[in-house]
Structure 1
Amino acid sequence: MSRPSCPRCVRPLSHCLCALVPRLSSRTRVLILQHPSEASHALNTARLAALALDNGELRVGETFPELTTELAHGAHRSCLLFPGAGAMPLAELAQDGQPLQLIVPDGTWRKARRLLHLDPQLAALPRVALPEGLSSRYRLRKAPMAGALSTIEAIVCALNLLEGAGRFDAMLRPFEALIEGQIAAMGEAVYRRNHGDHAAARISRSVPAGSSV
């Protein structure tokens, strides 16, 4: 029998994160296009991001035919938050007064690329990229490449660049609670065994300066 879940955050009721999810306004519209395989994932950070933003939306699918009309007639300048050749540093858009829509593919790198392959209009959008050298707090997944962030981390970083440093950091509270809950469920020993480097870093951050483990 499946455990009852929260209809809003889709977490088990005993681990509902809704109380930690802020509600923030943004000038930038954020449209998250999620591959269907991610929708039921226990670590679904895209849903948390969409819940936190008044001007955010999450859509699930492999193709999004409705975007053809929306992109042609929308009031926002649409950009794809995805690395690639010719991607513009996102910080360069911070001075542009035109309303911006960030379209964010959500899925593994392979599945995110598949979304673009199936939808040439998405692949043709101007691309913007986050600064290099970022590090993820996502301690339960091994990053496929240096600087790879979870979806919610990428959105927070992007909005902070566009609208003011720190303005959207509150979105990371449920994300951190989600990670800590998963670590607690698996147990410290299992976490150490499967995520050695991340586990060591987490433990070192939790120990006050001058203490020893």
Structure 2
Amino acid sequence: MPRPSCPRCQRPLRHCLCALIPELDSRTRVLILQHPSEVDHALNTARLAALGLRNAELRVGEVFEDLPQLLAQPDYRACLLFPGEESVALSAYAPADKPLLLVVPDGTWRKARKLLYLNPVLAALPRVSLGTVAPSRYRLRKAPQEGALSTIEAIAAALDVLEAPQRFDALLRPFDVLIEGQIAAMGQDVFIRNHQR
């Protein structure tokens, strides 16, 4: 019999994170496109990010038929948060700038690339990246490359840059508690042996 879970954060009821999830306003609209393989992931940071931002939306799938409509929002400039040679480092908005519709693929690097491949409209968007970032707080997973972040960390870092001096640290509170809970569940010895190298 499955354990009862919170319908909002989808965590087991006794580990519900809703009290820690903020309701943050942002000029930037965030559209998270989540690969279906991430939905049942224990951490599912994309869901936490979407819940914590009033101006965010989470869509799950591989092919997004309505993507042209989602991107055609006259009050925003659509761009894809995805590193690469053709990406431009984000910088703070000037007062007259039209805010971004920041499209964020959620999945492993391989799955994120697949989303771009399956959705040519997505692949055609101008790309932006974070530049220099603090090391990931996701201590349970070895980053595949320098500067790799979880989805919620990448979104918070992007918003910190775009909307400075406003900060989005509160978005990471449930993520930090989730990480600490996972470490506690596995035991400190197992964590040190498998993750502290």
Q: Secondary structure at the match of 2:157?
A: helix
Alpha-carbon offset, residue 69 of structure 1: 2.5
Alpha-carbon offset, residue 167 of structure 1: 1.8
User: Which shows bigger deviation, 156-165 or 175-184?
Assistant: 156-165
Q: Unpaired runs of 5+ in structure 2?
A: none
Q: Secondary structure at the match of 1:189?
A: helix
**CA–CA distance in 1 between the matches of 2:194 and 2:15?**
23
Contact 2:71 2:101 in 1 (8 A): no
Aligned residue for 2:151? 151
Relative to total residues, which structure has the larger helix share, 1 or 2? 1
Of all paired residues, the percent bearing the same amino acid is: 67
- Write out aligned runs for 1:49-198 (5 A): 49-72=49-72, 74-91=74-91, 94-95=93-94, 97-165=97-165, 167-197=167-197
Alpha-carbon offset, residue 67 of structure 1: 1.1
TM-score (norm 1): 0.88
**CA–CA distance in 2 between the matches of 1:186 and 1:9?**
22
Aligned residues: CA RMSD: 1.3
State the one-letter code of the partner of 2:157: C
Q: Secondary structure at the match of 2:105?
A: strand
**CA–CA distance in 2 between the matches of 1:165 and 1:52?**
19
State the one-letter code of the partner of 1:94: Y
Structure exhibiting the larger radius of gyration computed from Cα positions:
1
**CA–CA distance in 2 between the matches of 1:13 and 1:107?**
25
Alpha-carbon offset, residue 146 of structure 1: 0.2
Runs of 4+ in structure 1 deviating by more than 6 angstroms, as ranges, are: none
Contact 1:26 1:53 in 2 (8 A): yes
Aligned residue for 1:206? none
Alpha-carbon offset, residue 7 of structure 1: 0.3
Q: Unpaired runs of 5+ in structure 1?
A: 198-213
Alpha-carbon offset, residue 145 of structure 1: 0.2
**CA pair 143-166 structure 1, distance change in 2 beyond 3 A:** farther
